Amino acid sequence: MTVTSHPVFAVITGGGTSGHVIPALAVAELLQDSGIEANRLHFVGSNTGVETTLVPQSGIALTLLTVQGFSRGWSLTSLRQNIKTISVLRTATRLAEKLLLSLQPAVVISVGGYVSVPATRAAKKLNIPIVTVSYDRRPGLATKMQARIASAVAVAYLPSSLNNAMLTGAPVRRALRNLDVLASRSQARKNLSIPNDRNVVCITGGSLGSARLNSVARVLVEKNQHRHDLCIIHLTGPRYINDDLPTIANDAKILYRRLESTVAMHDVYSASDLVVARAGASTVAEVSTIGVASVLVPWSGAAEDHQTANANWLGDLAGAVVLDETKLSNLEIAAQVVAVVDNR
């Protein structure tokens, strides 16, 4: 197959959360940087995921499927859900097959997650080459299955349990790959209305937000109101944007900025001296690429505890402080964050 013989060069599939969509868009940007125009790319995602808003902004064509994941429980409710999931996936796979027959792409690129299953199953049936992109240190179930049938497997970490893995690093968005944090800091703080004389701590739970990290942010602000040197940038996530603000006295010295999740992340990273975040693969890739200091609090409920594995990779390189949320209170996590700021 030659690139020029296919009006659509690549179908990129995956989605649901920004943990899948952001790497997918980064892959799309890399393809465009190599000369593939946006109109020769097509994204296949879920009709309930963040791709419904993020992908259209990129100018890439988007097809949305009804998809759901399997429950890993053993209850009767889980069994019923999984029976329904099989039916949903069959329908989605048939629709994906029709789409691929229409587009005739040279390759299908999967960034993993259950959302990617229909398009990759259809690609296998139609003998379209599959490239699997794995950016978690512990690959998910969909990625493991797809790696067995993929023509190429790109991974962010070695050693890898995936067949024929090739180390490529994790895909990172263009705006962050090319970001000079120190050079852009003053302008970023101006854009966010933050003074230059503050130590800025960004607390973010990712695209969906994190109730636990939001609680840490509240404690951090309320217990450090006397700190005239601190500014807290707080990205709550859309589910929590209307939650009560921290209780701050009228004479408090600390600055607190709650921002919408739609804010430009390159400004947030540039403005920040320290980022406190979960340890999804995208976050770890971004903070390590940019070189911003971080405190990573892996989500203990992540499948196969993959966030802890992601965080420990950077922690073992002395690139981040890694905290176990199951062993620390909100106050203890907040205290650790302050200690990192004070020891810079």
**Domain of 283: which CATH number?**
3.40.50.2000
Backbone angles phi, psi at 107, to 5 degrees: -155, 150
Whether residue 241 sits in one domain with residue 104: no
Whether residue 297 sits in one domain with residue 162: no
Residue 260 pLDDT exceeds 90: no
Domain hosting 319: range is 175-342
Task: Give pLDDT tens digits for 112-169.
Answer: 999 999 999 999 999 999 999 999 999 999 999 999 999 999 999 999 999 899 999 9
Nearest to 220 by CA among 269, 255, 272: 255
Task: Give pLDDT tens digits for 53-69.
Answer: 999 999 999 999 999 87
Nearest to 266 by CA among 151, 149, 188, 156: 188
Contact status, residue 67 vs residue 115, Cβ threshold 8 Å: yes
Task: Give pLDDT tens digits for 176-191.
Answer: 999 999 999 999 999 9
Spatial separation of the C-alpha atoms in residues 81 and 137, rounded to whole Å:
29
Edge to edge, the sheet with strand 255-259 lists 255-259, 230-235, 199-204, 274-277, 293-296, 321-322
Give the domain-ending residue among 116, 150, 171. Answer: 171
Whether residue 184 sits in one domain with residue 151: no
Whether residue 20 sits in one domain with residue 102: yes
Whether residue 225 sits in one domain with residue 254: yes
Give the domain-ending residue among 110, 142, 171. Answer: 171
Give the domain-ending residue among 171, 206, 232. Answer: 171
pLDDT above 70 as % of the chain: 97
Nearest to 276 by CA among 207, 330, 337: 337
